[in-house]
Amino acid sequence: MKSTSVATKNKHLAYLGLVFVILIWGISPLITLRFYKYYSPTIRISFGALTSAIALLIISRRKLNLLNKTYFIIAVPTGFFMSLANIIQKIGLQYTTPTHYAFLENLSVIVVPILLIFFLKKKPSFLTIFSAILCLFSSFILTGMTTVTNGVSVVGDLLCALAGIFYGVNIAGTGAFAKKLHTPLYLTIQMFTEVIVSFVGVIIFDVTEIEKIVFDFDWRLILANIVIVFISSTICWLIRTNAMKVVDATVVAIMMPFSSVVTAIVSTLTGNDTLTVNLIVGVTLGLIAIILSGLGDHKSKISY
C-alpha cells in the first residue's frame, strides 16, 4: 500500500516536472531567434552542448563508477539522434516560422508509438493512438498549417519535420532502454555525443559554406547563454529523462508538443501574434489529448 502511494506521488511529480519543461521549451524558440544575431545555429548548439555536458559531468561525478558499456550502447545512439534533431531544427528555424517549427517537432508523437512496437513489442492502446492523432490535429489547428507554403521555405519545414522524427527516436530509445540508468550519467554521455556531432557539423557547414561561423565574445551574451542553456537544456533534460522512468514514453511524446501552445501564447502576449480561433481550438484539443494520454498511463503498471 505504501509503495503504491509512493509510486503515485512520483508520477504526480513527474507530470509537474513535464509541465515545467513544456513552459520552458515553449519560450525557447523566441529566445533562440534573438540569439541568431550573435551566434550561428551550429555554434550555439555546440556551445550549449558543451556547457550542459560539463554541468552534467559535475552533477554525476560521484556516480562515474557506474559507467559500463550499457550506458554507451544506449546513450550514444540516442544522443546522436538528439544531436541531429537539434542541429537541423535550429537551421530550419531560420527558414520557417516559430509556429511551423513548433508544429513539425510534433511528428515525434507518431514516431514514438511505432518505435515502441519494435523496441518493446508493445502495442499502443486505443487511448494512446487516439491521443496521438488528436494531439497532432490540435497542433495542425493551432499553427494554421493550412497555409504552410505562404511565405515559408519548404526546405525549412522539411528540416523541422525531419527533426521531429529524430526527436521521436530519442524519446522512444530513452523510454525503452534507459529507465534503470542513472539519469545525469546517461545524459552526460548524450551531451558529449552532441558536442562531437555539433562540432563536426560546424566544420562541415563552414567549409561547404552552408553556414558561416558567427560568435560574439561579449561576456554578457556568453553569460546569458550559459544561464539559458543550464535551465532549458541541463535542467529540462534531467527532468524529462527522470520523468520517463515512471511515465510512459508515448505520453511524454504527446505532452511535449503542448510547448507549441506556450509559443503561440507568448507570441500573442508580446504582440508578435493575435488571439485567434485556431489558438483557442488548438489549446482545447491539446489539453484533451494530454488528459486522455495521462488516463491511459495512469492505468499502466509502473516499471522501475
What's the domain count of the chain?
Answer: 1
- pLDDT at site 11: 81
Which three cell numbers mark 93? 528555424
pLDDT band, very low/low/confident/very high, at 59 (cuts 50, 70, 90): very high
Question: Would 181 be classed as within a structural domain?
Answer: yes
Summarised one tens digit per residue, pLDDT across range 114-134 is: 888 888 777 777 777 787 788
Question: Would 175 be classed as within a structural domain?
Answer: yes
The residues near 303 (Cβ < 8 Å, ≥ 6 apart) are 179, 245
* H or E element in which residue 71 lies: helix 69-92
The span from the CA of 109 to the CA of 292, in Å, is 14
Which residue would you say has higher pLDDT here, 177 or 97? 177
Question: Would 244 be classed as within a structural domain?
Answer: yes
Domain residues for 114? 2-125+147-253
Question: Would 280 be classed as within a structural domain?
Answer: no
Question: Would 115 be classed as within a structural domain?
Answer: yes
Question: Would 200 be classed as within a structural domain?
Answer: yes
Q: What angle do CA 8, 245, 286 make, to 5 degrees?
A: 75
**Of 9, 73, 42, 25, the residue nearest 228 (C-alpha):** 25
Question: Would 299 be classed as within a structural domain?
Answer: no
pTM over 0.85: no
- pLDDT at site 268: 73
Q: Does residue 304 register a pLDDT over 60?
A: no
Average pLDDT of the segment spanning 161-167: 86
**Of 35, 58, 56, the residue nearest 45 (C-alpha):** 35
Question: Would 86 be classed as within a structural domain?
Answer: yes
Detail the DSSP E strand segments found in the chain.
none
